[in-house]
Amino acid sequence: MNDKSLESILHEPRVFNPAAAFTAAARISPADYERLAAEAARDYEGYWARLARETLDWQRPFTTVLDSSQAPNYRWFTDGRLNASVNCLDVHLAERGGKTAIVFESEPGEVRRLSYRELTAAVCRLANALQAQGIGAGDRVVIYLPMVPEAVVAMQACARIGAVHSVVFGGFSAKSLRERIEDAGARLVITADGGRRAGRLVELKAATDEALAGSCPTVEKVIVLRHAGNAVAMQAGRDLWWSDATAGQPESCAPAVVDAEHPLFLLYTSGSTGRPKGIQHATGGFLLGAKLTSQWIFDLRDSDVFWCTADVGWVTGHTYVAYGPLAAGATIVMYEGAPVHPDAGRFWSICERHGVTIFYTAPTAIRALMKFGDVIPAQYDLSKLRLLGTVGEPINPEAWIWYHKHIGRERCPIVDTWWQTETGATMIAPLPGAIATKPGSCTRPIPGIDAAVVDEDGREITDVEHGGYLVIRKPWPSMLRTIWGDNARYIRTYWEKFGGRYYVAGDTAHRDDDGYFWVMGRADDVLKVSGHRLGTMEVESAFVAHPRVAETAVVGRPHDVKGEAICAFVVLKGERPTGAAAEQLAGELRDWVGHELGAIAKPDDVRFADNLPKTRSGKIMRRLLRAVARGEEITEDVSTLENPAIIEQLRGKA
Ligand code: WTA
């Protein structure tokens, strides 16, 4: 037994081979897979260079493939030049200009379709409008929109003129929005009057006003999309309606041809310390990863209707809504609303009505819908579906099997895709015609990705009983380039642990006899609540911003739908409340955190204590708190605790 590794406990014996008919028609056959893997092993740079040349449309071809001179700030295709929106839009106009690019359905049921030609025109008009407002290459634009086609239009319009977008999830609070605007130094914000979610109005413009009030001096203009129709205040000189901004703008716009390394976007994500990190991606490498993985992992082809349910506020909505499938020329579905509105059949009804062939969602959504039983999906015609996918957290075998049986009708392969905001595109996933699947495993890295599991000393773990750190041993094109404004943090977070040799994902994993990867969870203080990343520190900072809170420690505990629920241990300034007073304050604090960070960060449990369990050196013993939150026996030695009696109180026994 190696005490530098973790013991793995999940053993899932079932194996599902792709159907012969699927394999026969797949873009990547088992032989292709072997050939690609061998090519990548033989000539790593040559492999990526070939794919980059064949996959993307370059305005100026590159001659340099990988530049490691500033490692770990790796750069790819450095002397090549291209434009992302040209690669997603213009390249399709001759052959499929009239083809539907986006099918949009609103929560109340309005359906809108945009062809590639119409989408291109909308992108160009907004791109021209942005330029008319003085926005140019390298300027940051924050996008705070609901899940509507205009969100994709806004992203693509930025890409068209070389502006750098930073999408902020519409569920985030004004305060989160403000932090992100400030960190990015954005000159312009694109928002909407409001969005709709589960029958409720989300007041995006009001939140934007709150975010900008007395701060964010870099913001000069706010473009407001009329969507929900709610009343909003428009600030003269600063705010303008999308329709006015784009009125009279031409339907074509010369693309800004940028260097491959030109930043395409920033996307803020949670880490283990307080401030969210602005993950920065580069145009060429990101686009290559997005398009290639869309084609390989989802087996995307011209006839497909692809629905990735992720919001554009998350990386999945960047790679597999706004860029990858459009670069591949597919038809995508976008839905603004909740999966259970008006009932738990909504997803399946959308699949049926729009003829969805490929459906990609998160395990948390599958678990939530599974709770409503098998009868609901059985009422829908899902015969067009041919492939299913999951992302965001490990999928438990029970949910996998339900998805396979009741949605895929035992006919569709399931691609469990492991990746991160930082990786830009999927890294480990089955190529569906080539790799047999096992419920709960993301299977093997795609050819060209050198993933491994290593122990505390960086040695590869080969013994199947043990897990360790998931690392990537070679740079890859769609990797993050840096953390915006904090390159030292980039190096510290992702490279320091193993002396710059490996990219450290922050996840733990183990491999089985077949070399399949099984992701076990996070190795750091990052929580995964409904598939969304939250840092414990961020939630803790939100708590202590409340005037009554002195100190807090936040941990995760397993939750059958959300994957993980937030449990907060709170020490107040003053008396510890009990009974009804405790309940009332707990409710107030939950709302407070929801307001500070956004509803997804609301803790499930708030427990009050006189103190937190600390070592004599003052370190909070999080492992112990995790055991308390889970209601587990405390097996560890608590004799080093400063205040051992606190355990009983935390467990609610004193
Ligand atoms: C987790 C989402 C297991 C993992 C694309 C990772 C997964 C984090 C999977 C990144 C999967 C994502 N199986 N775990 N298929 N996909 N994760 O940045 O912990 O929101 O580090 O990107 O999600 O979350 P992020």
Q: What percent of the chain has pLDDT over 70?
A: 98
Q: Is 45 helix (H, G, I), strand (E, B) or coil?
A: helix
- Which residue is closest in CA terms to ligand 1's atom 11? 418
Ligand 1 atom closest to Cα of residue 420:
22
- Which residue is closest in CA terms to ligand 1's atom 22? 420
Least confident stretch, 97-111, 168-182, 359-373, 603-617: 603-617
Strands (E) located in 198-260? 200-202, 221-225, 239-241, 258-259
Answer whether residue 32 shows pLDDT above 60: yes
Rounded-to-integer distance, Cα 487 and Cα 473, Å: 20
Q: Identify the band that residue 2 occupies on the pLDDT scale cut at 50, 70 and 90.
A: very low
Which phi and psi (to 5°) does residue 598 adopt?
120, 155
pLDDT for the residue 1: 34
Ligand 1 atom closest to Cα of residue 505:
21
Q: Identify the band that residue 269 occupies on the pLDDT scale cut at 50, 70 and 90.
A: very high
pLDDT for the residue 442: 98
| Residue 418 alpha carbon to ligand 1 centre in Å | 6
Nearest to 89 by CA among 356, 332, 357, 425: 332
Q: What percent of the chain has pLDDT over 90?
A: 87
| Residue 528 alpha carbon to ligand 1 centre in Å | 8
For ligand 1, mutation pick of 361, 417, 528, 530 (most atoms within 8 Å of CB): 528
How far lies 652's CA from each of 394, 619, 646, 649, in Å? 31, 22, 10, 5
Q: Identify the band that residue 455 occupies on the pLDDT scale cut at 50, 70 and 90.
A: very high
Q: Work out the angle between the directed axes of helices 116-132 and 149-161 (0-180°, nearest 10).
A: 60
Ligand 1 atom closest to Cα of residue 390:
15
| Residue 380 alpha carbon to ligand 1 centre in Å | 30
Ligand 1 atom closest to Cα of residue 422:
18
| Residue 519 alpha carbon to ligand 1 centre in Å | 9
Q: In Å, how far from its chain's centre is CA 127?
A: 25
| Residue 35 alpha carbon to ligand 1 centre in Å | 28
Least confident stretch, 10-19, 61-70, 183-192, 269-278: 269-278
Q: Spell out which residues line ligand 1, taking CB within 6 angstroms.
A: 269, 314-316, 391-394, 416-421, 442, 505-507, 519, 522, 528, 533
How far lies 206's CA from each of 107, 191, 225, 464, 557, in Å? 21, 10, 13, 53, 34
For ligand 1, mutation pick of 418, 437, 530, 600 (most atoms within 8 Å of CB): 418
Which residue stretches of 371-443 are H helix? 375-378, 397-402
- Stretch 304-327: mean pLDDT, rounded? 98
- Stretch 531-537: mean pLDDT, rounded? 88
Q: Are 576 and 588 in contact (CB under 8 A)?
A: no
Residues written for the chain: 654
Note the pLDDT tens digit of each residue in 557-574. Answer: 999 999 999 999 999 999
Q: In Å, how far from its chain's centre is CA 478?
A: 14
| Residue 422 alpha carbon to ligand 1 centre in Å | 10
pLDDT for the residue 274: 66
Q: In Å, how far from its chain's centre is CA 80?
A: 28
- The amino acid present at 11, given as its one-letter code, is H
pLDDT for the residue 3: 53
- Which residue is closest in CA terms to ligand 1's atom 8? 420
| Residue 472 alpha carbon to ligand 1 centre in Å | 14
| Residue 531 alpha carbon to ligand 1 centre in Å | 7
- Which residue is closest in CA terms to ligand 1's atom 10? 420
Residue identified by tokens 């505390």 is 456
Work out whether the CA dihedral 159, 305, 346, 604 comes out positive or negative: negative
Rounded-to-integer distance, Cα 654 and Cα 147, Å: 48
Residue identified by tokens 């990537």 is 472
Show the tokens assigned to 346: 């909504």
Show the tokens assigned to 149: 């086609």
Q: Identify the band that residue 432 occupies on the pLDDT scale cut at 50, 70 and 90.
A: very high
Ligand 1 atom closest to Cα of residue 319:
5
Q: Are 164 and 198 in contact (CB under 8 A)?
A: no
Note the pLDDT tens digit of each residue in 583-605. Answer: 999 999 999 999 999 999 999 99
Nearest to 228 by CA among 324, 144, 146, 303: 146
- Average pLDDT score over the chain: 94
Show the tokens assigned to 295: 């084609």
Strands (E) located in 392-464? 414-417, 451-454
Residue identified by tokens 């975010």 is 211
Q: Are 121 and 251 in contact (CB under 8 A)?
A: yes
Least confident stretch, 351-365, 441-455, 595-609, 625-639: 625-639
Answer whether residue 80 shows pLDDT above 70: yes
| Residue 393 alpha carbon to ligand 1 centre in Å | 5
